[in-house]
A and B are shown apart, each in its own frame.
Chain A
Amino acid sequence: MQERVELSHRQINQELLAANLKGPRWWWLLVPALVLVVMGAASAAGYMYNRGLGVTGLNRPIFWGIFIVNFVFWIGISHAGVMLSAILRLSHAEWRRPATRAAELLTVFSLMTAAMFPGIIHPGRPWRIYWTFPFDFSRGIWPDVRSALIWDPSAIFTYLTGSTLFVIIALIPDMAVLRDRTTGVKHVIYRFLSLGWRGTPRQWKLQIVAGILLSALLLPVFVSVHSIVSWDFGMAVSVEGWHATIFAPYFVIGAVLSGVAAVVTMMALMRWAFHWEHYIRPEHFDALGRLLIAIALGWFFFFSLEFMFGLYSLEGPEVSLRQMQMFQMPWGALFITFITTAFFIPITLWQFKRVRRNILLMFLISILVNIGMWLERFLIVVPGLMRKQPLTFVWGGYTPSPVEITLVVASFIFVALMVLLFAKVFPLIPLFDIKEGQVLKDEVQVGRVRVPAVMREE
C-alpha cells in the first residue's frame, strides 16, 4: 500500500469513531426520509396482501417475476462479504483492511433483504409459507425434501448465521474501544457487546483463529447458497434455457461480480459521507478494479458458455429463445443494455489505471455493473417462463406492476437504511485492522530509493 498515511492510534480512534460518538448532521435528515420510503413500501405490500397477487403483473405462465429476480440479485450482492473479507483475509491481501466490514455488512443486510422476497413478498400469502416446510405429521403432505426450493432457505439461513457471526467476531475489539469511550446506557450496551474484551494475547489469538476458521467455513456455504438458488432454475427441465449444467458456477461468479461492484459503491459512499480519505484511498479502488477485471473476465467466460450451449443443442425452442432474447423487443434492448453495462463498458474502462483510481468513475461503473447484473437475472427468469411450452397452454407477456416496482426499489432503500443505522452504532471500518496495518508497515532501502514495505503476516 503505497499511499498509506502515518496515523496515530488516537487519530484512528477519533476519525473512525466520529460517526458513532457524534454523528454527522445529514444522518438525522436522511434516515427518517428513508424510513418513510420503507414504510411506504410496507403499505404497498399490505395492499398486495389485501388484494392478492392479482395486483402484480404475474400471470400464466409467468409466475416468477421481478420479486424472484430481485431475490436472486440480492443473494448475489451478499457474495461480496465472503469474497472480499474471507478470501482476502486468508490470502493476507494488505489492501483488504478498510473494505472488509463494508463487505461483510453488505452480506448480512442483502441476505436479509433477499430472504424477504421468497419468504414474505412473493408468496402473496406469507402466513401460509410454513406449508412449504418439510414436516407433515399434522398436515398429511410431504414437500419434496430433495427439492432445491426446500434447500434454499437452509442454505440462506446458514449463510446469514455464519456471516452475522463473522461480523460480530470482527466487531469485538472495536466494541471494547467504544466501551472505553462512552458513558451511561451506551457504555452498558457496548460493555455487554464487547464480551469482556481486554486485548490480552490469548483473546487476540482466539479472535484471529475464530476469524480464520469462519472464513474457511463460510467459503463452501457461500458457494452452496447461490448454487442452490441456481438449481431452483437448473433442475426445471420444462423451461427453455434453464436446464443447464453451468448454472451453479455461472450464478456464483455473477454474484461475486455484482457483490464486489457493490462494495466499490459502498466504499465510495463511505469515503464521501464520512470523509475517510486517509483510510479509503484511490489505491484501494485500483486494487478492487484489478480484482473486478479478473472476475468480470471469468463471468464472461461462463456467460459465453451458457449462451453458446443454448445454441449448441440445435433444438428449435432453445434457439428461438436465444433469438427472442437478442432480437425481439423489448428483450433485445434489455439484452444489449445488460451486456454493455455488466461487461463491455466496465471491462474497457477498468483497463486504465487512471479510471481505476478515479473514485467517481469507479462509483458510476460499479452502479452500471449492477444494473447489468439485475437485467441478467431478469433475462434468465422471465423470457424462459414466457416460452415454457411443453406444460402450458397459455402464452403471455409480463409487465411489472407499480406495486412490484415499488417493492423492488424499496429493497435498495432498505439496505441503505440498515447500513446507515449500523453506522450510527458500530464503526464501518475495523479499527483494529487499520491499526495492525499501521504497525506492520515498514520501508526498505533499495539502491537510492526507499520502497514501502510490509511485514509478512504469518
Chain B
Amino acid sequence: MHTPSGNSHQGTVPSTPQEVVRHGLERMTSAGPLFRGTVIVLGALFALGIVGFIIRASQGFDDRLPWGYYAAVFGYFLTTAQSAPMVAIALRAVKAGWRRPVARVAEMWTVVGVLNLLWFLPIMALVPTIEGRRSLWVTRPIGAPHAWDLLVVLFLAVCGLGLLYTSALPDLAAVREKGSGFRQRFARTLSSFWRGTRLQWNVLYGGIALLGTFYAMLLVFGHALLSTDVAMSMVPGWKDAIFPAFHALSGLQSAVAVVIVTLFVLRTWGGYKEQIHVDQFWGLSKLLLAFSLLWFYFWFSGFITFWYGRAPTEQVLLRYLYFESYRLPFLMAFFLNFVAPIFLVLLWNPFRKSILGPTLAAAFILVGTLFDRIRIYVAAFSAGDPFADALEHVPAAHLPGVPDILIVVGGLAGAVLMYMLAVRLIPVMAWWELKEGLLLRRVRPFLRRHMTVVAKPD
C-alpha cells in the first residue's frame, strides 16, 4: 500500500495479523520446481564437497599445508553465516521499526553453526600446540588452544540455535495451531508449552535480549580467538593487534551482506514481495556503507603501522600477505570489499535507496570476503614452521587443487542447503514481530501530506 505522500513503509506487511500468518504458512508449505531443483543441485554439490574432504583426509593430517582452503571455509562460515544474527540482535537493540521482516531472515543463518562445528573438528588436529610459539594463551590453560577453541565454536552454535528457537517460539505456536502435517508435528514438539501469557511474553523478550547479548559478545570473542589461533599465530612474526578486530569487523560487514542477499532472494523468488520492501534494503545499505568504510579503516590502520614502521619482520609479512604471494586474493578482497561496493554503489543515493543496488554491493562483499579468508587462512597454513620467531623469506602461495575446489564449493552449497531446509520448518519471517509492527504504526495526515507515525511503547 502506498500512501498519498509516496511513503511506502506501510506496504511492508499484509494488513491484518491473520493475513500475516496465512501468507506465511502458504509460503512455508509451497515448494515450486525452482526450490526443489535448487535443493537437488545444492545437495549434489555438498556431496561433492564431502568427496573432496575424503580425498583430503585420506592424505592425512600431518601436513597442514593442503588444508588451508578447508580452514578458509571455516573462517568464511564464521564471518558470514554465524555473524548474520548480529543484524537481528543490533536492530532489535535499537528498536529499528524496519527490522521486522529482517530479524528472522538473519537469525535463521545460525543453523549453519552446526555445520561449522563439525567443520572445525578436523582443524583441531591441524593447529599445533602453543608450547614454544606465540599465542594468546599466555597463562597456558589446560587444553589450550584446542579445547577452548572448540568450546567457543560449540557455544556459538548452541547459543545461536537457542536464540533462533526463542525468537521463533510464538511463530512455531502459530504453526502448531494453523499448520498441518509434519510441520505441525515439529512445531507442536517445540512449542507445546507456549500459550502466549503475559509472563511467557515477558520471558520471551528477556530471553531474546539476554541470548542476543551473549551471542554478540561470544561472536566477537570467537572472532578474536579463532582468527588468532587458527590464522595469525601460525605465521611466524605476525603480531598484529588489530587483526582480530578486523576479522570481527569483516564479520559484521559480511553479516549485513549475507542478509541483504538473502532478502533479495526471498523477495524475488521466495514470494515475500509484500513483506520485504525497499525500506529494508535502504536501512541495511546504510549499515553496509558504514561497515565498508570501517573495513578500509581497520585494514589501513594495520597496514600503515607495519609499512611506516619499516621493521624487517613486518616488511616480510607485508610482502607475504599483500604484495607478493597473496597479492591476487588481497587485491580482489580490497576491490570487492571496499572499492566496488562503495564507489560503484553505496556512495550514490539512488543506488543505495533501491533493491538492486545494495544487493549488488552485498554480492561483491560476499565474494571479496571469500578471497580475504583464503588470503588469511591459506597463508597461515602455508607459512611454514609456526615455532619460528619470524619469516626469514617470503613463502610461496599455495594454489588450490581439485579437492580444495570441491571442498570450497561443497561447503558453501551445504550452508545454503541447510538454510533452505530450515526455512521449510521455521517461519523465515518473524510473524509476531510483523503483527506487533501493525499495532504500532499508523499513517496520519500532516499538513498537506501523510506521514508514518511509529509508537514507542518503552
Contacts and interface: CB of A to CB of B under 8 A. Distances in A.
A368 B282 CA distance: 39
Nearest to A294: B93
Contacts, number: 118
B138 A312 contact: yes
Contacts of B442: 444, 453
Contacts of B310: 237
B455 A246 contact: no
A213 interface: no
Interface of A: 1-2, 94, 146, 220, 223, 227, 231, 234-235, 237, 243-249, 297, 301-302, 305-306, 308-309, 311-314, 442-444, 446, 451-456, 458
Given A235-B305, A245-B240, A456-B452, A451 B134 contact: no
A445 to B, nearest CB: 9
Given A227-B297, A312-B241, 16 more contacts: A223-B297, A237-B311, A244-B241, A244-B305, A245-B241, A245-B242, A245-B243, A246-B242, A246-B301, A248-B297, A249-B297, A301-B245, A312-B135, A442-B444, A446-B439, A451-B457
Contact of A227 (B97, B301, B444): B301
Nearest to A87: B290
- Tell which of A244, A312, A314 has the most Cβ of chain B within 10 Å: A312
B378 to A, nearest CB: 21
Given A220-B293, A249-B245, A444 B309 contact: no
Nearest to A304: B224
7 contacts: A2-B458, A245-B302, A301-B245, A444-B440, A446-B457, A451-B456, A453-B442
Contacts of A231: 304-305, 308
Contacts of B297: 223, 227, 248-249
B104 interface: no
- The A interface is mostly helix, strand or loop, or mixed, namely mixed
Given A245-B302, A249-B245, A312-B135, A2 B456 contact: yes
B239 A446 contact: no
Contacts of A220: 293
- Tell which of A244, A444, A455 has the most Cβ of chain B within 10 Å: A444
B31 interface: no
Interface in B306-360: 306, 308-311
Interface in B220-236: 220, 224, 228
Nearest to B446: A455
Contacts of A453: 440, 442, 453-456
B126 interface: no
B166 interface: no
A83 to B, nearest CB: 13
A38 B349 CA distance: 48
Contacts of B240: 245, 309
A306 B444 CA distance: 52
Contact of A456 (B135, B220, B243, B451): B451
- Tell which of A243, A246, A458 has the most Cβ of chain B within 10 Å: A246
A252 to B, nearest CB: 9
